[in-house]
Chains A and B, each alone.
Chain A
Amino acid sequence: EAGVVQSPRYKIIEKKQPVAFWCNPISGHNTLYWYLQNLGQGPELLIRYENEEAVDDSQLPKDRFSAERLKGVDSTLKIQPAELGDSAVYLCASSLGGRAHEQYFGPGTRLTVT
């Protein structure tokens, strides 16, 4: 069974530029999560989707961050414009409905903003 797929794996951009991350969850997983992981820290939830609906986006900085999950499968996380402090690893995870405690993570996208 394929795991959670994320792309790109690495991204280097200049500040004020836009950037987008893509996630393909495990087949059949209707819950999808985006996390932010700073160096030496644990993941912090940005947004959670149940199918195509964002059910928890309270920690998403909506002035510059946006996300979408069309058709309840793949998801895209966007930052526009990026700031130096956005440099981090962006992780995507997914889980089965009713088993939200068991989340499966992708390898992440490491973003460097210069």
Chain B
Amino acid sequence: QQQVKQSPQSLIVQKGGISIINCAYENTAFDYFPWYQQFPGKGPALLIAIRPDVSEKKEGRFTISFNKSAKQFSLHIMDSQPGDSATYFCAASSGSGAGSYQLTFGKGTKLSVIP
């Protein structure tokens, strides 16, 4: 059972454009939603994260939008650059209960930013 569904699977954006990646979750116990960035041959790196008590969090060119009622969250990359080309994973975890602190990852989105 996939608890975090991510789309699209791949994304091609022109330099300077906006990249948008969407995720949906099922488990209402999730209370932490991070995004990880992974370059080829590297491990995932924490990019930005949000808790459900806020609807938006912005760090530089990266913004998470969160819709608790719809159980959806998304990553927006403004002014996308070729250096942003990587695979992005959304994830979710809960701080209590069975499997607490276990990160459940989406399947990833391969982003290619073309000049």
Contacts and interface: CB of A to CB of B under 8 A. Distances in A.
Interface of A: 4, 31, 40-45, 48, 56, 91, 93, 100-108
Interface string B17-46: 000000000000000101010000111111
Residue among A101, A105, A108 with most chain B CB within 10 A: A101
Nearest to A6: B43
B91 A48 contact: no
A17 B108 CA distance: 31
Interface of B: 6, 32, 34, 36, 41-46, 49, 89, 91, 93, 95, 99, 101-103, 105-108
Q: Is the interface of A mostly helix, strand, loop or mixed?
A: loop
Nearest to B90: A42
A91 B103 contact: no
Contact of B103 (A41, A103, A104, A106): A103
Contacts of B34: 101-102
Contacts of A56: 99, 102
Contacts, number: 53
Contacts of B99: 56
A44 B49 CA distance: 19
A105 B43 contact: yes
A105 B107 contact: no
B41 A107 contact: yes
- In order of increasing CB-CB distance, the 9 nearest A-B pairs are A42-B105, A105-B43, A100-B101, A101-B32, A42-B89, A105-B44, A107-B43, A106-B43, A108-B43
Contact of A43 (B42, B44, B46, B95): B44
